[in-house]
């Protein structure tokens, strides 16, 4: 997963998960409660005096009802309005948006099929200094460089000789794929060549793939002599499933038996499966072939942007509760003062 560098919080933004809650904000709910809600009633003990009226007349006072209705102050109304606004803000679920995170997912799956039959022990390939190299050693060096450039692709590795084997299932761990390629040895899969079975195994491997672009790069230095499924049939199936095949032939096309590379079959496979056919007899040419395949099939990724969200609505509710407590304590303190001065 690739992630864009953070801007150290510079791009933080505030959004609301449920902005429709603000539609109820203009409703004068605190005013309606203040205007029409009945006053709080509380009974208190009193001393009854038989000649109270006479005392009141002597004091020049007019007796009134025993109930006292306290007026609601403006500060009480202001606090109520603040609590209402904070409650609506909390219901709107405010969220802090972090910096966007870009996630890249491979949009192409690539299978590398490598011939490790007995003929790959021949030392007829040349390095940059024109020194002879074992075919498989030259191939491993080039393929590992190719794998290192596959960042963003999922890689699967198939080796084949008398039979085909899945060395590495689809993975984005390119280092592990290269290490397993390095550990392969000539003859590990048998002395013969099973090109058709290698293609068939690649098709079964692609069954676990859900991406549209599927690519098989097959390298062989021999002729198919041991497949249960012919290369022609396997190629037809691959073409019908949209699998593109590139084939590479190394070795001597004029050899005999297992030593003869079947260039005609490799070319027919590539043509039918919409890929390309290449042939070389030296390491540099092999490197150029894989570079050409890389150019023809540039890296593909599917990009998804994810923006983390942190909910902060509870701060609004906490402020509402705090204001309510302050209002209650203020009323209690005011009542005590009135009693003390009463």
Q: What share of the chain is helix, strand, coil (3-state, %, to 5)?
A: 45, 20, 35
CA distances from 235 to 109, 219, 238, 266 (A): 18, 15, 5, 10
Mean local confidence (pLDDT), 315-324: 89
pLDDT of 109 over the 90 cut: no
Q: What pLDDT, on the 0 to 100 scale, is given for residue 105?
A: 64
Rounded to the nearest 5°, which phi and psi values hold at 244?
Answer: -90, 135
pLDDT of 308 over the 90 cut: no
pLDDT per residue as tens digits for the range 75-96: 777 887 888 888 888 888 888 8
Is the model's pTM score more than 0.85?
no
pLDDT per residue as tens digits for the range 281-292: 888 888 899 888
pLDDT of 171 over the 60 cut: yes
Structure tokens at 92: 């709107």
Output the average pLDDT for the chain. 81
The SS3 assignment for 208 reads coil
* Helical residues (DSSP H) of the chain, grouped into ranges: 29-36, 52-59, 74-91, 135-148, 174-183, 195-206, 231-240, 263-272, 283-296, 313-341
What percentage of the chain reaches a pLDDT higher than 70? 79
- The residue with greater pLDDT, 243 or 28, is 243
pLDDT per residue as tens digits for the range 183-227: 999 989 888 899 999 999 999 999 888 777 889 999 998 888 888
pLDDT of 69 over the 70 cut: no
Q: What pLDDT, on the 0 to 100 scale, is given for residue 4?
A: 42
Mean local confidence (pLDDT), 164-189: 91
- Min mean pLDDT across 54-58, 101-105, 237-241 is at 101-105
Q: What pLDDT, on the 0 to 100 scale, is given for residue 3?
A: 43
Find, among 81, 82, 91, 84, the residue nearest to 16 by Cα: 91
Question: pLDDT-based confidence at 302, cuts 50/70/90?
Answer: low
């Amino acid at each position: 997963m690739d992630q864009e560098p953070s801007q150290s919080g510079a791009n933080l933004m505030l959004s609301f998960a449920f902005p429709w809650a603000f539609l109820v904000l203009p409703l004068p709910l605190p005013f309606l409660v203040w205007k029409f809600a009945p006053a709080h009633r509380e009974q208190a003990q009193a001393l009854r005096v038989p000649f109270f009226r006479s005392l009141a007349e002597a004091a020049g006072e007019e007796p009134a009802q025993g109930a006292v209705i306290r007026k609601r102050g403006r500060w009480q109304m202001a606090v109520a309005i603040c609590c209402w606004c904070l409650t609506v803000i909390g219901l709107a679920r405010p969220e802090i948006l972090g910096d966007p995170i870009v996630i890249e997912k491979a949009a192409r799956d690539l299978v590398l099929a490598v011939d490790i039959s007995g003929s790959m022990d021949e030392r007829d390939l040349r390095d940059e200094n024109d020194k002879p190299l074992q075919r498989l050693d030259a191939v491993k060096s080039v393929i590992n460089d190719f794998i290192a450039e596959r960042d963003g692709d999922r890689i699967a590795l198939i080796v084949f000789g008398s039979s085909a084997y899945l060395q590495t299932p689809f993975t984005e761990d390119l280092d592990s794929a290269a290490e397993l390629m390095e550990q392969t040895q000539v003859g590990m899969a048998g002395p013969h060549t099973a090109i058709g079975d290698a293609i068939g195994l690649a098709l079964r491997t692609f069954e676990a793939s859900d991406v549209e672009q599927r690519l098989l790069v097959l390298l062989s230095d021999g002729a198919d002599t041991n497949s249960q499924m012919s290369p022609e049939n396997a190629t037809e199936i691959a073409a019908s499933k949209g699998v593109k095949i590139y084939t590479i032939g190394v070795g001597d096309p004029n050899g005999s038996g297992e030593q003869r590379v079947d260039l005609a079959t490799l070319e027919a496979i590539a043509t039918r499966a919409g890929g390309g056919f290449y042939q070389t007899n030296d390491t540099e040419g092999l490197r150029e072939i894989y570079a050409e395949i890389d150019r023809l099939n540039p890296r593909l990724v599917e990009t998804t942007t994810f923006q983390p969200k942190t909910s902060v609505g509870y701060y609004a509710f906490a402020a509402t509760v705090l204001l309510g407590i302050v209002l209650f304590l203020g009323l209690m303190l005011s009542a005590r003062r009135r009693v003390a001065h009463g």
